[in-house]
Amino acid sequence: MLEGKITRLRAAELEDLERDLAWVNDPEVTRFLATRYPMSRAEEERWLRDRPTNDFSNGVFFAIETKNERVHIGNTNLMQVHPEERKAAFGIMIGDKDYWSNGYGTDAIVTLLRFGFGEMNLNRVWLHTFDFNERAQACYRKCGFIEEGRLRQHYYGEGRYSDVIVMGVLRDEFDALHGIVPEREAAR
Amino acid sequence: MLEGRLVRLRAIEPSDRVRAVAWLNDPEVTYYLTERYGRAGSDGGWLSDGPPPAFDDVRLAIETRDGAHVGAVNLHRVQAEDRKAGLGIIIGAKDCWGRGYGRDAIETLLRFAFCEMNLNRVWLTVTAGHERAIACYRRCGFVDEARERDGFYKHGRYWDFIVMGILRRDFDALHANSSKGEGDA
């Protein structure tokens, strides 16, 4: 269980199935994600049930809950973890649209990055985002990601090509911006 | 293939098994090692069998420059978060003892561990009394870190285990000219 300021990250559970299924079939949600084909309940259930344990080599996948009401609002993950490069790719979905634009995503990301750098000992976390997802990019910048490149016409959806923006955050940059070590450890 | 000065470290082949089994059944070779029960001809242990080398388990054969297979080294219990690994080595060809092959193999593997795998720490345990090995590890830059008292029983008595370790920064300081890459904070 990872505690943020307004969110908490916990292991995903099979009980999350109905919410996850609704989100990944909601076009308003998936237009920002690299998922285009409808997802069956059976497939989503199999994915949740057979997912490997959260660890360094498998990466981590967490459900995002609001801290006060314990409402499950989305999921976030680190994947493609490379031990030699100490880097991982990052993904997030705030599926419950009532919770968009209220800082929940930013808090969940900062919490996950603190775990990635402070516990998994990563050096770099990177992501892909679509050029039209400006709300996400503003959020990623607040978390410490900077734009590193633009893959031209790398994605096709809604009848047109879009550029994919590559963003990354390095350990030292995140530490300067948000701090990796909890205050109580730093004081020792 | 990792090139050292005297040896090269290559992937392990099934054909290494016959020598591995002979070494593991040689009491002079295993005197200070945790080998106790002898090995069947099909069982060369990590010296000849297992998955191909990868981050979590690196096992390599030691060859002299003229291609003679003289031993094996490995990095085991690799912890990605802690960026540390345990090191094991065996020089099974007794006529090759005392020639610097072990030291060269270890230094070659350490360079790989720090500069390619991006590890921060390599540790080992050695039986107190195995003076030739301890001296070799010290020459490679390992320092004594702990003593596990009576950690090992063999030849009718208890032996201490000595835990030794080397950090990336120790290795960089020893090999200032030959080790490349970021000096980790």
Q: Give the containing element (helix H, strand E) for A29.
A: helix A27-30
CB of A84 within 8 Å of a chain B CB? The answer is: yes
Question: Which phi and psi (to 5°) does residue B137 adopt?
Answer: -60, -40
So what's the architecture of A2-186 in CATH? Answer: 3-Layer(aba) Sandwich (3.40)
CA distance to partner chain A, nearest, from residue B72 (Å):
23
pLDDT value of residue A143: 98
* Closest by CA position to A12, among listed A66, A52, A70, A63: A63
CA distance B70 to A32: 58
Question: Which phi and psi (to 5°) does residue B152 adopt?
Answer: -150, 130
Distance of CA A141 to the CA centre of its chain: 14
| Cβ–Cβ under 8 Å, residues A165 and A150 | yes
pLDDT value of residue B184: 44
Cβ contacts of B117 on chain A, cutoff 8 Å: 83-84
Q: Give the containing element (helix H, strand E) for B62.
A: strand B58-64
Instruction: Using the Cα atoms of residue B77, residue B78, residue B83 and residue B88 in order, give the sign of their dihedral.
Output: positive
Q: Is the pLDDT of residue A54 over 70?
A: yes
CB of A121 within 8 Å of a chain B CB? The answer is: yes
CA distance to partner chain B, nearest, from residue A87 (Å):
11
Chain B interface residues facing chain A, Cβ-Cβ under 8 Å?
55-56, 78, 80-83, 116-118
Average pLDDT value for residue range A86-98: 97
| Cβ–Cβ under 8 Å, residues B39 and B24 | yes
CA distance B185 to B178: 19
Local structure of B66: helix, strand or coil: coil
Cross-chain residue pair A121–B55, CB shorter than 8 Å: no
Cross-chain residue pair B80–A85, CB shorter than 8 Å: no
Cross-chain residue pair A121–B81, CB shorter than 8 Å: yes
CB of A83 within 8 Å of a chain B CB? The answer is: yes
Cross-chain residue pair A84–B118, CB shorter than 8 Å: yes
pLDDT value of residue B179: 46
| Cβ–Cβ under 8 Å, residues B170 and B141 | yes
Task: Identify whether B7 is part of a domain.
Answer: yes
Task: Identify whether B117 is part of a domain.
Answer: yes
pLDDT value of residue B77: 96
Task: Identify whether B27 is part of a domain.
Answer: yes
pLDDT value of residue B128: 97
Average pLDDT value for residue range A71-98: 97
User: Which residue range is the domain that position B52 belongs to?
Assistant: 2-174
Task: Identify whether B181 is part of a domain.
Answer: no
User: Over its length of 185 residues, how does chain B's per-residue pLDDT go in tens digits?
Assistant: 899 999 999 999 999 999 999 999 999 999 999 998 989 999 999 999 989 999 999 999 999 999 999 999 999 999 999 999 999 999 999 999 999 999 999 999 999 999 999 999 999 999 999 999 999 999 999 999 999 999 999 999 999 999 999 999 999 999 985 544 444 43
- What is the total residue count of chain B? 185
What is chain A's percent helix, strand, coil content, to nearest 5? 35, 35, 30
CA distance to partner chain B, nearest, from residue A86 (Å):
8
Tokens of B29: 């070779």
Q: For A25-41, how does the pLDDT look when each residue is reduced to its tens digit (9 = 90+)?
A: 999 999 999 888 888 99
Cross-chain residue pair A83–B116, CB shorter than 8 Å: no
pLDDT value of residue B181: 47
- Percent of chain A predicted with pLDDT > 90: 90
Q: Which of B81, B82, B116 sits opposite A84 (nearest CB)?
A: B116
What does each C-alpha distance from B70 to A134, B7, B89, B91, B100 come to in angstroms?
61, 9, 11, 6, 12
Residue B46's domain is classified under what CATH number? 3.40.630.30
Q: pLDDT averaged over chain A?
A: 95
Cross-chain residue pair A119–B80, CB shorter than 8 Å: no
First-to-last CA distance in chain B? 30
Cross-chain residue pair B80–A121, CB shorter than 8 Å: yes
pLDDT value of residue B176: 83
Task: Identify whether B48 is part of a domain.
Answer: yes
Q: What secondary structure letter does DSSP report for A140?
A: H
Local structure of A90: helix, strand or coil: strand
Contact pairs from chain A to chain B, CB under 8 Å: 25
pLDDT value of residue B182: 45
Q: What secondary structure letter does DSSP report for B50?
A: S
Q: Which of B81, B82, B117 sits opposite A84 (nearest CB)?
A: B117
Cross-chain residue pair A84–B82, CB shorter than 8 Å: no
- Percent of chain A predicted with pLDDT > 70: 96
Total domain count, chain B: 1
| pTM (two decimals) | 0.84
Task: Identify whether B179 is part of a domain.
Answer: no
Half-sphere exposure of A131 (CA within 13 A, CB side): 14
